[in-house]
Amino acid sequence: MNKQGNLYTIIYTAVIVCVVGAALAWVSLTLKPKQNDNIRIDKMQQMLSSLHVVSDKTNAIELYDKYIVDEYIIDSSAKKVDGNAFDVNVANEVKKDASERLLPVFVCNIDNSTKYILPVYGTGLWGPIWGYVSVNDDGCTVYGAYFSHQGETPGLGAEIATENFARQFDGKQLFKDGSFKSVAVLKKGQKPVGGEDYVDAISGGTITSKGVQSMLFSCLSCYSAFLSDLQNNKK
Amino acid sequence: MLNKKNRAVLFNPLSKDNPVLVQILGICSSLAVTAKLEPAIVMGISVTAVTAFSNVIISFMRNTIPNSIRIIVQLVVVAALVIIVDQVLKAYNYEVSKQLSVFVGLIITNCILMGRLEAFALANKPWPSFLDGIGNGLGYGIILVIVATIRELLGSGTLLGYHVVPQWLYELGYENNGLMILPPMALITVACIIWAHRSKNKDLQETN
């Protein structure tokens, strides 16, 4: 058969595509369960970090089961919705209107006090940023925070993923005089206009820092009804 | 198996015919993944695996490939191997695969691969092609490791995540150079290595 002819070329391409396609499908199917486990474990580690619990991939599941006692989904008016909170894709939810979002809440028990972990998701300079904020049972004080990013500038915007940055959020108040204010991320020396609590931004990472600020405000404001309920229960 | 010709094929790319230093290929990824040593090592191993096996596969197929779709066939083989590497990393080394993120996928566009397939695998038997792939992958990997060592040491004071710059040096006022973490310093580091390499190998110097 003429190896440079059209028929040979077409048959050759078809065979290659089938063989490669089958090989890739097989690899993907075989490795999928292991990959999903890794993604779940990674998510658990991120949540545990927001509780200041240090975990590695070997003990993440154990620690997660120990500290996270309940998880559920609420809507923006704090009514419970059916579903599995762990599997909610926050990245998809933030695209919806605030009233239609599914809002996962993870209830944790650490040192005999109850904390609530709330996921947040937003945009930095180069791509998505996300994190978990844990709130005390007074519905107002931040217990801890964890942030991560896909591709912020190393050494600048990427510093939001460091413990030093996240630690600044400990003890900040999300509400001032009964109204939701979130936490601002400001350059050193600046003061917030609305009187809300604030932390220092990353120098050289201004756009990423602003991204964190707007991510916290837009995501946590959806939880404000839930957080207000917590405050009223406490009183 | 390892006669003189094959040894040259394997070892030349490590220095005299280094893909990064002499052929100036694969610069993009050597800037991107060298801020830390561990991803650089994993990237070096991944590229070595992909070049070696794509060279072998293309070499086996070299007499059957229709000339008009030669590049497409090469791309399909490389892309398939890269996806397999990416999937394996996601399953067995999730941390590193998060750090390498898009750069594993971008191995496909690494000029070293297509360059070796076109220049070597299409004209040689599988075994020399395999050695050529290993040699070029390692030649690339070595430069990555050297650059990453310099950048991580000076930029973060660590190697493979362990602190190596002693605390008393910090107390004397030493500071990590944050600039080393940024991509421009990778370019400058690579340039310095090329400078040192060419001043040792006079025959590589261009005269004009």
Place of tokens 């404000």: A224
Domain assignment present for B12: no
Residue of B75, B76, B99 to mutate for A, most A C-beta atoms under 10 A: B76
Longest CA pairwise span in chain A (Å):
87
| Residue A144 CB-half CA count within 13 A | 18
Question: How does residue A235 score in pLDDT terms, banded at 50, 70 and 90?
Answer: low
Q: Residue A169: what pLDDT?
A: 93
Interface contact flag, B94 A24, Cβ < 8 Å: no
Average pLDDT over residues B168-189: 86
Contact A8 B66 (CB under 8 A): yes
How many distinct structural domains can be found in chain B?
A: 1
CB A111, CB A51: distance < 8 Å? no
Residues of A in contact with B65 (CB under 8 A): 12
The nearest alpha carbon in chain A to B72 belongs to A13
- Which tokens is A114 given? 């109850």
Give me the pLDDT at residue A104, please. Answer: 93
**For B84-96, what is each residue's pLDDT tens digit?**
988 998 898 888 8
Average pLDDT, chain A: 89
Choice among B125-129, B147-151, B183-187 with the minimum mean pLDDT: B183-187
Instruction: Answer yes or no: are the C-beta atoms of A43 and A58 closer than 8 Å.
Output: no
pLDDT 10s digits, A177-220: 888 888 999 988 888 888 889 999 988 888 999 999 999 999 99
Please give the pLDDT value at position B101: 67
Question: How far away is chain A from the Cα of B11, in angstroms, using its nearest Cα?
Answer: 32
pLDDT of res. B128: 92
Mean pLDDT of chain B: 87
- Whether residue B107 has pLDDT greater than 70: yes
CA B23 to chain A, closest CA, distance in angstroms equals 28
Residues A8-39 have pLDDT tens digits of 999 999 999 999 999 999 999 999 999 999 98
In a domain, B4, yes or no: no
The pLDDT of residue B102 is above 80: no
Beta bridge partners of A106: A71, A117
Average pLDDT for B140-156: 91
pLDDT tens digit sequence for A51-93: 998 888 888 889 999 899 999 999 888 888 888 888 888 889 8
Q: How confident is the model at residue B24 (pLDDT cuts 50, 70, 90)?
A: confident
Neighboring chain B residues of A42 at a CB cutoff of 8 Å: 94, 98
Residue A119 binned pLDDT confidence (cut-offs 50, 70, 90):
very high
Question: How many residue pairs from chains A and B have C-beta atoms closer than 8 A?
Answer: 64
Across the range B185-194, mean pLDDT stands at 91
| pLDDT level of residue B169 (50, 70, 90 thresholds) | confident
Q: Which two tokens stand for residue B153?
A: 């040491």
**pLDDT value at residue A188:** 82
Per-residue pLDDT, averaged over B115-138, amounts to 92
Two tokens at A80? 């419970």
CA distances from B1 to B4, B17, B32, B128, B139 (A): 10, 21, 36, 9, 21
Pick from B49-53, B102-106, B171-175: least confident: B102-106
Q: Quote the percentage of chain A above a pLDDT of 70.
A: 99
Inform me whether the pLDDT recorded for A145 exceeds 90: yes
**Does A176 have pLDDT greater than 90?**
no
Stretch among A155-159, A209-213, B44-48 having the lowest mean pLDDT: A155-159
B199 part of contact set with chain A, CB < 8 Å: no
Contact B72 A13 (CB under 8 A): yes
| Amino acid A141: pLDDT | 92
Question: Is A38 within 8 Å of B90 when comparing Cβ atoms?
Answer: yes
Q: Residue A30 in 3-state DSSP?
A: helix
**Residue A128: per-residue pLDDT:** 93
Q: What is the pLDDT of residue B208?
A: 66
Yes or no: say if B77 and B57 are a contact pair by the CB < 8 Å rule: yes
Beta carbons of B101 and A150 less than 8 Å apart: yes
Residue ranges of domains in chain A: 69-234
pLDDT the model gives residue B143: 92
Percentage of chain B modeled with pLDDT above 70? 99
Domain that holds residue B86: 19-200
The CB-based long-range contact list for B175-183 (8 Å cut-off, 24+ gap) reads: B178/A155, B179/B155, B180/B150, B180/B151, B180/B154, B180/B155, B181/A154, B181/A155, B181/B35, B181/B151, B181/B155, B181/B156, B182/A153, B182/A154, B182/A155, B183/B31, B183/B32
